[in-house]
Amino acid sequence: MKTAIATVTLSGSLPAKLEAAAAAGFQGIEIFENDLIQYDGSPADVRRLAESLGLEIIALQPFRDMEGMPEPYRSQKLRYIQRKFELMHALGTNRFLMCSNVSPHASSDRNQCAADLHEIAEMAAKEGLHVGYEALAWGRYIADYEDAWDLIKRADHPNLGINLDTFHMFARGNTLDCLRDEITLDKIALVQVADAPIMQMDVLQYSRHFRCFPGQGDLPVVEFVQCLKDKGFDDYLSHEIFNDEFRSSSPKEKAVDGMRSLIWLDEQTSKQPSLPAPEIMDVEFVEFAIEGDSGEELMGMLKGLGFRETHRHRSKDVSLMRQGDINLILNKEPESLAHEHYQLHGVSVCALALATNDLKSMLERAERYHLPRFANQAGPGELNIPAVRGIGDSLVYFVERSGKFRFFDIDFVPVEGENGGLGLSRIDHVGQSVSNTDFLSASFFYKSLFDFTIEPSQDLPDIYGLVVSRTAESRNGRVRIPINMSEARQASPQRFIQRSRGSGFQQIAFECEDIFAAAAGIGMGHILPIPENYYSDIGAKFSLPQEQLERLRSYNILFDRNEEGGEFFHFYTVETHGVFFEVVQRSGGYSRYGEANAHIRFAAQARQNALKDDVDELN
C-alpha cells in the first residue's frame, strides 16, 4: 500500500506541512481546504512545491453539506463545487472528498440525496475527476458508512465511490461486515486511518480533539486494514487526524510518528513480518549526566541507597555504581552525548540501556522505524554501544547480552572497596514524565520499536490536577515504563518538566527482598515523609495488625494489597534534581505499581517542594 497524510494532521504553514510529510517518507498528501485558503501562494505554486518534494496531491477535502439541500442552497453548492473542480486542476489532483450533510436544512429523502450525488459525479466525470463520499459520525441522516454505501449504490455512477474513515466507522460502533461482504475495491475512493482512545463523550468533540495515529489508541484499526488487504486493496492509506497535541507539536516529529504508525500497521497485518521484534530482556543500565561537583547530591542519595562505585571506565570520566543486578552509570565525560544532555537539562537521566538477544535485528528494526542512530566515541578495544533517540532528548542504548561477559567487563576497570548494599536486587520499573505533546509518541515508541504492550490510560489525582498515566511493558515483564503526563502546571510531571526543561526519566524503582531492612539502612533523612492519616486509613482498609502498621509508619512505607492477596510494600526517596527513587517489595503475585497510593506520593512531594522553596527564599 501507498502512504499519505492530510495537511490538517500537522501544525504549521502549508509549505512546512508538505516538507515534513516528504521528509518522513510519505508518498501522498491530502490538501485540507483551510490550509489552501490560508496559503499566500497559488494552487499552482502548491502543486509545484509538492512535485519538487516528490509528493502526489491525492485529494482536495472536505466539501460539506451538499446532498439533500433545498433551493437556493442546492444551486449555490453546485456552483461552488464547479469552482472547487477548477482548484483541483490547478493542484493536479483528481479526488474530491465530500462529507455527509449535517445541515438542519438537509432532507432525509435518500432518493433525492442519491440524485444529488449522481449529478455531482456526472459533473466530475466531465472534468476527469472522481468523488469520494464519507459518512460523518455526526451526520444528520447519514452517519454510518453502511448508509453512505446505500446512497452510493442508489446514485450508481462510476465516478462516485466511498471514502472509508476508521474514526467515523468505529466511533459509531460499526462492524466490518459491509466492507467485507459488499463494498468492492473499485468503489473505494480513499481510505483514511485514524485511531482514538475509547471514550464516552459527544462524538463531534471526540473527533475534533482525540483522534490519534493507528496504534496510539484503542480502535480496531488493525482488523480494518487486514480486511482491506484480504480484499486486495493496494491504494493509499492516509492519515486524517484532528488532535490538539498534534497541532502544538513539531510537524516534522509528528509526520515521522505518522509514518511509523503506518509501518507498524503494515507489520501487524503482514502474514510474515519482515523484521520481528527481538526480545528485550531487561534494563542493562541507567545513565546519569553530571558535571564537576553538580552530582554530589545525587551521589549522596545513591550511597544512602547502598550503591557504591564498583568500576571506572578505562579511558573516560565515567563511573559505575552497582548493587545486585542494578547498574547506574555516572557520566562526567566532557566529550560525550551525556555532556550535551547536561548542558540542556542539568543533572538528569540521559540514557536507558536495554538488553536484547539480537543486536543486529534490533538495529535493523530501528532503521525501519526511521530512528537515527547515535554512538559515543569509543577508544581502542572499547564497546561502541549503539543508541537511538528516545523520548525528549534521552537516548536508548542497545546492549546484546550473550555469553558470560557484561558491558562493564570490557569497558570498565574494577574498583577495590567494600561490597555494602541494602539488598536491592534489580530495576523494577523506570518512570517517565512527558509533555502532553510527547504522551502519545512515548507509548507508541515502545509499542512499535520494542513490541511492548501498552496499558490503557488511567487518571491519578495530584493535589494540583489530574495526572494521566499508562505503562509500557516488555513481553517478558522485566522492563516496565510508566509514562505520566499532566497539563496542570504545578502537578508532579509538570514540575519535573519545568525543572529539567523537557520530558525525561523522573523515577527509578528498585526491587528488594526486605523493604524494612532497606528503609532502616537508607535512613529517614532520604525517605519521603508520609502523613499519619494515611496509616490510619490503610489500617482500617486492610485490617492490618497494629504491630505491622507501626512498622510501616516508622519507616514511611506505603502498602497495597490486591484481590488475590498479593501484597506491595514501597517507599520513595525525596527528590534530587527533580529525580526520585522508589524501593519496592512484591509478594503473592502482586504485579501493579501501588496506584492507590499515587495521590499520597504526589501530595507528599508537593509538600516537600514547598518546604524546600521556603528554605530557598529564606537563604
**Domain ranges in the chain?**
2-268, 280-414, 424-614
pLDDT at 503 exceeding the cut of 60: yes
27 marked ligand binding residue: no
Position 199 scores a pLDDT of 82
Domain 280-414 CATH (choose: 3.30.930.10, 3.40.1080.10, 3.10.180.10, 1.10.3720.10): 3.10.180.10
Position 417 scores a pLDDT of 75
What is the CATH number assigned to the segment(s) 424-614? 3.10.180.10
Residues 6+ apart with CB under 8 A from 394: 341, 349, 350, 351, 352, 504, 505
pLDDT tens for residues 393-432? 999 999 988 767 888 888 899 998 766 789 999 999 999 9
pLDDT tens for residues 240-264? 999 888 888 899 999 999 999 999 9
Average pLDDT over residues 371-379: 73
Rounded Cα gap, residues 428 and 284, in angstroms: 12
Average pLDDT over residues 80-88: 95
Average pLDDT over residues 256-279: 86
Position 549 scores a pLDDT of 96
pLDDT at 590 exceeding the cut of 90: yes
DSSP 62-94: EE-S-TTPPTTHHHHHHHHHHHHHHHHHHHT--
Position 200 scores a pLDDT of 80
Q: How confident is the model at residue 376 (pLDDT cuts 50, 70, 90)?
A: low
pLDDT at 380 exceeding the cut of 60: no
Range with the lowest mean pLDDT among 193-207, 247-261, 454-468?
Answer: 193-207
Residues 6+ apart with CB under 8 A from 138: 102, 203, 204, 207
* Matching fold, domains 2-268 and 424-614: no
Q: How confident is the model at residue 275 (pLDDT cuts 50, 70, 90)?
A: low
Element (H, E) at 499: helix 492-500
Q: How confident is the model at residue 566 (pLDDT cuts 50, 70, 90)?
A: very high
CATH superfamily assigned to domain 2-268: Divalent-metal-dependent TIM barrel enzymes (3.20.20.150)
Position 612 scores a pLDDT of 74
205 marked ligand binding residue: no
3-state SS class at 9: helix
Average pLDDT over residues 196-209: 85
393 marked ligand binding residue: no
Average pLDDT over residues 305-332: 94
Position 616 scores a pLDDT of 61
CB 535 within 8 A of CB 490: no
In this structure, what C-alpha cell is assigned to residue 384? 561502541
Average pLDDT, the chain: 93
Report CA Rg, the chain.
28
Position 451 scores a pLDDT of 93
Q: How large a percentage of the chain has pLDDT more than 70?
A: 96
Q: How confident is the model at residue 274 (pLDDT cuts 50, 70, 90)?
A: low
User: Cell match 456526472: residue?
Assistant: 122
165 marked ligand binding residue: yes
pLDDT at 176 exceeding the cut of 90: yes
pLDDT at 619 exceeding the cut of 60: no
In this structure, what C-alpha cell is assigned to residue 519? 528503609
pLDDT tens for residues 161-174? 999 999 999 999 99
Position 383 scores a pLDDT of 73
Position 248 scores a pLDDT of 85
